[in-house]
Copies of this chain bind each other. A is one copy, B any other.
Amino acid sequence: MGKQQKNAISPTRAEDYPEWYQQVIKASDMAERSPVRGCMVIKPWGYTLWENIVAHMDGMFKATGVKNAYFPLFIPVSFLEKEAEHVEGFAKECAVVTHHRLEQGDGGKLIPGGPLTEPLVVRPTSETIIGDSFSKWVSSYRDLPLLINQWANVVRWEMRTRIFLRTSEFLWQEGHTAHATNAEAIERTGMMLEVYARMVEDYLAMPVIKGRKTAAERFPGAVDTLCIEAMMQDRKALQAGTSHFLGQNFAKASNIRFQTENETEEFAWTTSWGTSTRMIGGMIMTHADDDGVIMPPRVAPAHVVLLPIFRTPEDRRQVMDYVQKLAAALREITYCHRPVVVEIDDRDIGGARGWDWIKKGIPLRVEIGPRDMAQDSVFVGRRDHAHRDKKAMPREAFVAEVTAILDDIQNNLFQRALLVREENTRQVDNRKDFYAWFTPKNMEKPEIHGGFALSHWCGDRACEATIKEDLNVTIRCIPLDASAESGQCICCGKPSERRVVFAKAY
């Protein structure tokens, strides 16, 4: 970092938000593009974050009685033919396996051989194949509820990709449950949305609005789609999780029937719910600043980096000894169900070392040189504070307070994000204002603009479509806690009973 340069990431968010995002990821060492079109390599710093997210969420799933299972990577094409709506949704752009062998062609080339009688699709979701299993596993009310989740990779062929946000292959979980009653399935739909909201708010420090999709935005085949929506720093919405109540539609398509206690036969009531590595993209766009990623401590791949400072070999020996002891003391402490994770970086690369960790977003940087050691103190930088804003602390106090500091960072990140959302959320009641707010001044290269508009909507699909076409603004959700309020539709002026959340979206 030259002294002239103010920020580690160029361009800044204000200068070019999409490019800033790519540069933040590159600088963080979390993931990178792979030689396979549209696929990413998730590097250890990014993958450990994912492991932490998975561990917390998996625990929450299991606490509600869900069990994990694993279904085949491949889906026979005939399974997709059964569900016309499904094909429209997912299966159009997918990886199709047509051969099961490579053969020697001319000049050392390998060419596909052994054509399959029926092509296979690499799962864009396991919905149909899980439905097939459910139809075999369920025969009586005694088999219900069936509460299954799968952690897996899925593939949806994408032409324009962005790491974590939209890639041809990504990692996700999909939950599928079958119930004996309508009411129980509806309850489960809400329960899983609540799990997602807790995960995203309490661990990823991203405030979310819990809501319901309009019919137009609903998952194909769902009776009701619940979602959580978060605001990114460019004021666009990102859907961080969805939970669908499928009524008996999915059971009818997959033939999931059961004998009731009264010995009648009924179709089961089902739900499905999913989240993916896309959450990581949302987390980055919520917290990262012009110096790079900021990891919320509760899911951070590591919590503290110790940065020993020395000139002479004698210094080095003493400082490293001190640093090792400090690391050991910190690792004895539990923070959010795991030991405090400490990195020691003794590379001799000057100021670039500290900046590396800033860009990676580690919550705490601790410098320790001979003078600090002499005073038994450490020099601490918090990632949620400016990079020069470091402070000396007695070593003992640091060890005693480290979990409190981490919690403070966690809370601070959440409050900051909440403030961004509040500052960029408006009640808009006038169509002209609405259109002005969602129209950038610079159409060529749109500046950050708009936000969440809480506006009235009459419920008419045509109004929703008009706004989408005119502004690329959609109804993100009808908030679950929206109170009844009379008003006039922002589009047509007809009567409306409640406000909904309009925004541009990822």
Residues of A participating in the B interface, judged by any CB pair closer than 8 Å: 34-36, 39-44, 47-48, 50-51, 67-77, 79-81, 87, 91-102, 108-112, 114, 119-122, 129, 132-133, 142, 148, 152-153, 155, 157, 169, 171, 347
Q: Which listed residue (B41, B71, B100) contacts A96, Cβ 8 A?
A: B100
In the assembled complex, the Cα of A111 lies from the Cα of B78 at a distance in Å of 10
Given contacts A102-B121, A157-B100, contact A69 B94 (CB under 8 A): no
In the assembled complex, the Cα of A79 lies from the Cα of B171 at a distance in Å of 23
CB nearest to A157 among chain B residues: B100
Contacts of A153 in B (CB 8 A): 73, 152-153
Given contacts A36-B72, A39-B72, 5 further A-B contacts (CB under 8 A): A42-B69, A44-B69, A73-B153, A74-B95, A122-B122
Contacts of A101 in B (CB 8 A): 92-94, 96, 157
- Asked if B95 and A102 sit within 8 Å, CB to CB, the answer is no
**How distant is A53 from chain B, measured CB to nearest CB, in Å?**
13
In the assembled complex, the Cα of A129 lies from the Cα of B35 at a distance in Å of 8
- Pick from A70, A91, A92, A347 the residue with the most CB of B within 10 Å: A70
Q: Which listed residue (B40, B70, B97) contacts A72, Cβ 8 A?
A: B40
In the assembled complex, the Cα of A55 lies from the Cα of B109 at a distance in Å of 41
- Asked if B110 and A87 sit within 8 Å, CB to CB, the answer is yes
Q: Which listed residue (B75, B100, B171) contacts A94, Cβ 8 A?
A: B100
In the assembled complex, the Cα of A153 lies from the Cα of B74 at a distance in Å of 11
In the assembled complex, the Cα of A156 lies from the Cα of B51 at a distance in Å of 27
Contacts of A148 in B (CB 8 A): 44
- Asked if B93 and A100 sit within 8 Å, CB to CB, the answer is yes
- Pick from A42, A48, A72, A109 the residue with the most CB of B within 10 Å: A72
Q: Which listed residue (B36, B51, B109, B114) contacts A120, Cβ 8 A?
A: B36
- Asked if A70 and B171 sit within 8 Å, CB to CB, the answer is yes
- Asked if A72 and B41 sit within 8 Å, CB to CB, the answer is yes
- Asked if B87 and A94 sit within 8 Å, CB to CB, the answer is no
CB nearest to A128 among chain B residues: B35
In the assembled complex, the Cα of A119 lies from the Cα of B110 at a distance in Å of 9
In the assembled complex, the Cα of A114 lies from the Cα of B34 at a distance in Å of 21
Q: Which listed residue (B50, B68, B110) contacts A81, Cβ 8 A?
A: B110
Q: Which listed residue (B44, B51, B119) contacts A112, Cβ 8 A?
A: B119
Contacts of A94 in B (CB 8 A): 100-102
**How distant is A87 from chain B, measured CB to nearest CB, in Å?**
7
Contacts of A43 in B (CB 8 A): 69
Q: Which listed residue (B97, B129, B132) contacts A122, Cβ 8 A?
A: B97
In the assembled complex, the Cα of A157 lies from the Cα of B169 at a distance in Å of 21
- Asked if B91 and A110 sit within 8 Å, CB to CB, the answer is yes
**How distant is A148 from chain B, measured CB to nearest CB, in Å?**
7
- Asked if A77 and B44 sit within 8 Å, CB to CB, the answer is no
